Amino acid sequence: MARDNSIRLFDLVLDSGCTISPFVWRIKYALRHKGFDLDLVPNGFTGIKELTGGRSDRLPVIVDDGEWVIDSWKIAEYLDAKYPGRPMLYEGEGSKVLTKFVDRWLWRTAIGVWIRCYILDYHDLSMPRDHAYVRESRERILGGRLEEMQFGREQRLPKVPPALEPLRGLLKETKWLGGDRPNYADYCVLSQFLWCGSVAKIPPLHDDDPLKEYIDRGFDLYGGLGRHPGMHTLFGLPKAS
Ligand SMILES: N[C@@H](CCC(=O)N[C@@H](CS)C(=O)NCC(=O)O)C(=O)O
């Protein structure tokens, strides 16, 4: 049982202290959903292996009363399996499958485009000690110079809002993807907007986007968990004239 009702979470943060990783963001929400306090250990991109005693080079990682759990999907399942008496993140196996579908769809639709629109901001906002690693790894993975990838984003950003229509339409019919209360699918979706807000020096969504209500409500959950001062506004993308 979690000691003092808190679970240790190794966080992945920018220089501002704001979480960047969408996988960490969703676990922050998941822990609060289960009623736990967060015992956060803030880190940048480098030194994760040393920090986790060689267990992982990726975050999130949690330690629950001495038990280490690695990988956001495994952590969510662990929390439900270990604490079934607390609010569930998933309602059965079908809900896990649908959550993965929603997460993958949004990832491809939004982050798939946004990553190259914000990759230089992502680098610049990371901790100075992480700059060399972030540049080398992201240029290798994404296949280009950060400056060149981000260049011309004003033309690419307007393509994302229309592609979010399936989510927008659904959220006209339901308050949360979990129904009348949020579940892990909501945290996966919100975590992608939180990732974006952590790095977006120019906004990705229009001011009058109906998604704003859902996103704001999500960021306000658990005492404003998503409202870190390092976050940038997501709204204000100019409309094509
Ligand atoms: N499948 C893993 C993915 C975790 C992951 O890729 N985390 C990234 C941050 S978004 C990370 O730790 N990156 C460290 C690095 O880039 O060196 C999960 O769901 O937890």
Best probe residue, ligand 1, of 24, 59, 134 (max atoms within 8 Å of C-beta): 59
Query: Does ligand 1 have an atom closer than 6 angstroms to the CB of 71?
Result: yes
Residue with the two structure tokens 């110079």: 145
Query: Does ligand 1 have an atom closer than 6 angstroms to the CB of 12?
Result: yes
What is the 44 CA–ligand 1 centroid distance (Å)? 12
Structural domain contains residue 235: no
The most distant pair of C-alpha atoms in the chain lies apart, rounded to whole Å, by: 57
Same domain flag for 53 and 121: no
Report pLDDT for 74: 98
Quick: pLDDT tens for 49-107.
Answer: 999 999 999 999 999 999 999 999 999 999 999 999 999 999 999 999 999 999 999 99
Structural domain contains residue 163: yes
Same domain flag for 59 and 22: yes
CATH code for the domain in which residue 54 is found: 3.40.30.10
Q: Is the pLDDT of residue 1 over 70?
A: no
Residue at a domain's end among 22, 48, 82: 82
**DSSP-assigned beta bridge partners for residue 11:** 42
The overall pTM is greater than 0.75: yes
Number of folded domains that form the chain:
2
* Element of type H or E holding 38: strand 37-43
CB proximity list for 61: less than 8 A, separation 6 or greater: 9, 10, 52, 55, 68, 69, 70
Range of the domain at 113: 93-224
| Ligand 1 atom, smallest distance to 20 CA | 10
What is the 25 CA–ligand 1 centroid distance (Å)? 11
Structural domain contains residue 238: no
